[in-house]
Amino acid sequence: MPSLHPLLSGFAPIWALTGVGYLVARAKLLGPQAETVLNRFVFHVAMPAALFLMISRTPLDRFANTSMLAFAAGTAVATGLGLLAGRLLFHRKAGELAIGSMASGYVNSANLGIPVTMQVIGDASFVAPVVLFQILLVTPAVLAVLDSGAAGRRALLTLPMRNPILLATALGAVVSAAGLHLPTEVNRSAELLGGAGVPTALIALGMSLHNRPPAEGRSHRAETALTVGIKTLVQPLVALAVAGPVLHLSSHQLLTVVLFSALPTAQNVYTYAREYGQGSGLARDAVLWSTLASMATLSVISWSLGPA
């Protein structure tokens, strides 16, 4: 039976780097535009490098497994509920709806998925299909909505060429499908750039806590609470219902799917929100509060579904 302490070890770097970002902003070490610059570095340089390298090294047939059906079902329901809540309850516009739906169902698959699943079940192989699913299907759909609002009359067909995230994803998929092996120098350069993405995004997230408005309205707090509830409770429950009664997955597969579905909102969502100026407050708070809440939900899941 896994203890709480191993799970906490996966969260410690997230809180530490977010705290560093808060202190940096509080001390005004990097100037008033630092948060914007760091987010743009992540979006335009570090994240594309990391995504290209990850996808180019992953066989695309990793999509094809039964467990992904349960994970996809949980994601679809969670993002759909986030979309409906934003439209019907909070009257958000298209870009904000895209961010709200993403915050409701886009999991922190690699940064937390790897350490958590290694601690609980000793196997992080499910990371690859989850990452591919989110990057190749969920991310393009959200960015298409965000970019259509920002681009005005620019054609949607040119979106992959104008968006570094989608361009890197497409190039990585081509390299993977063709079975190409990149030169060592290219791989190493991409590793160095990509490795800067997560810590920089977390520091920028921490800086946003210091730069946030002095008071958030009741509507914002309600929307954040609903988003976090959908992410940390609804999404894993739907995955559990599909993985168990519908697909009859093994106990190991069931635990893996539900654990991944219960992971908190990825910090990528805040990076996208800041880049497009849409729903950044909701994205920021969804990342923070879902990360905090998931420490409890992941512990309950590992206790109830984990091996004795």
- Helix 218-229 to helix 280-305 angle (10° resolution) is 30
Specify which of 65-79, 110-124, 130-144, 204-218 reaches the highest per-range mean pLDDT. 65-79
Q: How far apart are CA 62 and CA 128, in angstroms?
A: 7
Between 118 and 208, the more confident residue is 208
Q: Which domains occur in the chain, in start order?
A: 4-211+218-305 (1.20.1530.20)
List the one residue out of 96, 106, 98 whose CA is nearest residue 72: 106
Dmax (CA) of the chain: 58
Confidence class of residue 119 from pLDDT cuts 50, 70 and 90? confident
Percent of the chain with pLDDT over 90: 43
Question: Looking at residue 7, what is its pLDDT?
Answer: 65
pTM for the full model?
Answer: 0.82
Q: How far apart are CA 145 and CA 73, in angstroms?
A: 21
Q: How far apart are CA 141 and CA 180, in angstroms?
A: 27
Confidence class of residue 255 from pLDDT cuts 50, 70 and 90? very high
pLDDT at 1 > cutoff 50:
no
As a whole number, the mean pLDDT across the chain is: 86
Q: How far apart are CA 123 and CA 61, in angstroms?
A: 19
The token pair at 161 is: 């060429």
CB 86 within 8 A of CB 223: yes
Question: Looking at residue 170, what is its pLDDT?
Answer: 85
Question: Looking at residue 273, what is its pLDDT?
Answer: 92
**Which residue pairs, CB below 8 angstroms and at least 24 apart, start in 246-253?**
246/70, 247/66, 247/69, 247/70, 249/66, 249/67, 249/70, 251/305, 251/307, 252/121, 252/123, 253/66, 253/67
Between 194 and 3, the more confident residue is 194
Question: Looking at residue 153, what is its pLDDT?
Answer: 44
The token pair at 160 is: 């992959």
Confidence class of residue 250 from pLDDT cuts 50, 70 and 90? very high
Q: How far apart are CA 82 and CA 75, in angstroms?
A: 10
All residues at 6 or more sequence positions from 299 whose CB lies less than 8 Å from its CB, including other chains: 4, 7
What is the mean pLDDT of the segment spanning 292-303? Answer: 88
Confidence class of residue 162 from pLDDT cuts 50, 70 and 90? low
* Number of neighbouring beta carbons within 10 Å of residue 128: 18
Q: How far apart are CA 62 and CA 26, in angstroms?
A: 44
List the one residue out of 257, 278, 256, 280 whose CA is nearest residue 267: 280
pLDDT at 74 > cutoff 50:
yes
What is the mean pLDDT of the segment spanning 95-111? Answer: 92
What is the mean pLDDT of the segment spanning 215-234? Answer: 91
